[in-house]
Structure 1
Amino acid sequence: MARITVVNLASVDLNLFVVLRAVLDEGSATKAAARLNVTQSAVSNALARLRILLDDPLVVRTGRGLAPTPRALAIAPRLSAALSALEELTSDLAAFDLATTRRTWTMAFAELYGPTLLPGLYQRMQATAPESSLRVITLDRMAATNAMELGDLDLYLGIAAAIPAAWRSEPAFTDGIVGIVRAGHPLAHRDFSLEDYLSIPHAHVRVTPERGGEVDDALARIGRTRRVVVTAPHYSSAVPVVESSDCATAIPRRLAKHYARTRGVEIFEIPLTLPGYDIRLHWHARVDADPGVAALRSMVHDVVATR
C-alpha cells in the first residue's frame, strides 16, 4: 500500500514551492536560479528539502537536464494554479487604486451618526473614489447576520460593549450630551438652572437598553425626576417634537450642532454631571492589510475631523 504523506503547511516555507515551479518550468537548476535571482546552491538546497517533505525525488538528471518524476508531473498543474492564485491575491491588493475602484463598502452605525457622517463621506468619495459606493446597514442587521465575522461588513462605527478578539479598533471621536430647545423658546439664550430644566416637558430618546438613560440616572442620584411626555427610538423623531413645542431633549453634542445649523433649535448645557463617551471605528483582523478598508477608515477620520 502506498504511503500517504500529510504536510503541515504551518511549518512549511512556501518559497520552496516557488523554486519547484521554476525548476519544473525551466528543466534546469541553473536557469531556475537565474529566473528567481538566487544562487544555484539555493535552488539545490530547496529541492533537497522538498524531496524530504514530499518523500519523492521530484526531478532526476538526464542528458537534457532535469526531468520531472511522475509525482512531480501530477502536482505541477495544481502547483502552478495555487501559486498563480496567491500572486493574483497579492497583486490585487497592491494594485488597489482609490481613484478607479468600483468597490462597494459596507458600514454599520446607529441612526444618529448618519446626518453628521454621510454627507461629508459622500463628498470625499466623490472627490477621491468617484466610482465607488457605500452601503449602510443597521446595527440590528449587523448583529443578526454576524456580518463582521462573515466578512460582509467593512467598518462599524460606534460603542462596542465588548470587543471580540478578532476585531481591531481605533478612536474616531469623543462626544458628550447637551440639550436642545426650539428657537424662540422662553428659556432660550440663558443658562439653564436645574429648576429651569425640570420645569419644562421633555422628549426622551432611548437609543438602546444600555444607552439613553444618562440624564435620568444623573437626576436619580440627586433624588429628582423630569417630566417626559414623548419617548422615541431615534433623534430624528424627537427633534421635530422639540422644534414645534416647548419640549427639550438631551442629544449628543455633535448631532446637536448639526441640528442647530440645519433646523430651528438652539443648544444649551444641561445642569447635571453627565458622562462623555468614546466612539470608535471597528473592523475585522482579516482586513488589516486591505487598502480599501484603510482608505475608508481614512475618509471617515477626515469627515470627523472636519465636522
Structure 2
Amino acid sequence: MTIKENDFRKIDLNLLIAFAVLFREQSVSGAADKLHLGQPAVSGALSRLRDMFDDPLFIRSGHRMQPTARAISLHTELMPLLEQLQSALFQQAEFHPAQAQVTVTLGMTDWVEMWLMPVLIPALSAVAPGVRLNVVASDPFSDAERLEAGELDMAVSVAPGGPRWLEREPLTTMGLTTLWHPAQLKIDGALAVNTFCDHPHLLVSYREANSSQIDTLLAKQGLARYVSYTTPHFAALPGLLATQPVFATVPAGLAQGWCHTWGFVAAAVPVEVPPFELSLLWHQRHNSDPALMWLREFIRSRMAQTGYATDCASMTAAMA
C-alpha cells in the first residue's frame, strides 16, 4: 500500500497517545497525571483532537467523560496500531535459534571454508537447524565492496582496515606453513632458505599475481624463488603437491589436516613472515539484525570453546 503523505499533515503522534490515555482515564485531570502534563495542555490536546476528527469524542457525564461512538470506533482501530508501533520502535526483536528459519550469506575463500566449516556446521545444526549458511566465494580485496552492496551479509576474511562502517570481530591470528610431499622432495632436517629457493613453488593468488610478500622478503636477502604455478584455489594444491617436487605455503590452519590426509611434511617458512588476523566482517547497518548478531557471537564463542583458534596460533608459534 502506498502511503499518502498529505493525509498525515495534521497528525501528531502525541495527540493519539493523549487520546488513548483520555479514553482509558475518562478524565482530563487523570490523563494529565498519567502523561505528566498540566491540565491546560491536555485540554488543548483534546481540543485539537476534536478538530482533527470533527467529533466531540468525550462527553462529560457526572465526574467522568464518556466516549462517543466515534471515539469508541477510533480506539478499537488505533490501539492495535499504537501497540505495533511501540513494539517496532522500542522493543528489539528476539532471536530464538532453535525456531529460526533464516539464510545468511557468508563470503570466504576456499581455505577458510575447508578449515572452519567442518567445525562450525555440526555445532550450528545442533542448536539452530533452521539457520542456513549460503557460502559464496570471495577474497580480501572485494569483501568490503560486496558487504556494502549487500551481496554478502558477513565475510570471514583476512582483509585489513576498511571503511568506517566496517565492523570487525577478530577470530584468530595465524601464520603460514610450507608443505611438501616426502615422496617428491627428500629434505633432511629443518627447511633452509636455500633449499626453499632451490625448488619450484605453487602460489595462490586472488589477482593473478605471480609473487607475494614472501618474494619481497626473499628479495631483501638477495634471494628469489621460482613460482611454477598460480591458482585462486587452495583446493587445487594437495593433488599437485602429491605428484610434483614442489613447495606450497599455506595458512597454518590447513597444515594439520592436510598432513594427516595427504601425508605432507610441514615446516616453518624460512623467512620471517608476519602472522595475519582472520576476522568476521559485516556492515554497521546490520548491528541491529538479531540473526546476524547471534551468528557472530556463535562463531566467536564456538571457536573459543573448542580451542580451535588457539590451536592454530599454537601451531604457528611452534613452527616459528
TM-score interval w.r.t. the shorter chain?
0.7 to 0.9
Match of 1:20?
Answer: 18
Compared CA separation, residues 161 and 145, structure 1 to 2 (3 A): closer
Q: After the TM superposition, which residues 157-306 of structure 1 pair with which residues of structure 2 at under 5 Å, given as runs? A: 157-188=156-187, 190-208=189-207, 213-305=212-304, 306=306
* Deviation by residue 1:220-250 (Cα, 9 ceiling, x = unmatched): 1112111221111111112211122211011
TM-score, structure 1 normalization? 0.76
Question: In structure 1, how many angstroms separate the alpha carbons of the residues matched to 2:187 and 2:107?
Answer: 35
Most deviating of 115-124 and 49-58: 49-58
Q: Which amino acid aligns with 1:284?
A: H
Q: Which amino acid aligns with 2:270?
A: P
Compared CA separation, residues 113 and 18, structure 1 to 2 (3 A): farther
Compared CA separation, residues 75 and 206, structure 1 to 2 (3 A): farther
Q: Is the 8 A contact 1:198 1:227 kept in 2?
A: yes
1:41 aligns to 2:33 (yes or no): yes
* Deviation by residue 1:120-175 (Cα, 9 ceiling, x = unmatched): 111011111122211112227x9599653465643211133442222321211112
Q: Secondary structure at the match of 2:236?
A: helix
Question: In structure 2, how many angstroms separate the alpha carbons of the residues matched to 1:47 and 1:270?
Answer: 80
1:93 aligns to 2:93 (yes or no): yes
Most deviating of 276-285 and 191-200: 276-285
Match of 2:312?
Answer: none
Q: Is the 8 A contact 1:203 1:230 kept in 2?
A: yes
Match of 1:36?
Answer: none
Count of matched residue pairs? 291
Q: CA RMSD in A?
A: 4.2
* Deviation by residue 1:6-59 (Cα, 9 ceiling, x = unmatched): 89xxxx9x7x477336336537258997xxxxxx51326299768889992457
Q: Cα offset for 1:191?
A: 0.3
Compared CA separation, residues 145 and 178, structure 1 to 2 (3 A): closer
Q: Secondary structure at the match of 1:286?
A: helix
Match of 1:62?
Answer: 59
Q: Which amino acid aligns with 2:113?
A: G
Q: Which amino acid aligns with 1:242?
A: L
Question: In structure 2, how many angstroms separate the alpha carbons of the residues matched to 1:245 and 1:91?
Answer: 60
Question: In structure 2, how many angstroms separate the alpha carbons of the residues matched to 1:143 and 1:47?
Answer: 61
Q: Secondary structure at the match of 1:56?
A: helix
Q: Is the 8 A contact 1:115 1:258 kept in 2?
A: no
Question: In structure 1, how many angstroms separate the alpha carbons of the residues matched to 2:42 and 2:264?
Answer: 73
Compared CA separation, residues 28 and 163, structure 1 to 2 (3 A): farther
- Which consecutive residues of structure 1, in runs of 5 or more, have no partner in the other structure? 34-39
TM-score, structure 2 normalization? 0.73
Q: Cα offset for 1:193?
A: 0.9
Q: Which amino acid aligns with 2:60?
A: G
**Identical-pair percentage:** 20
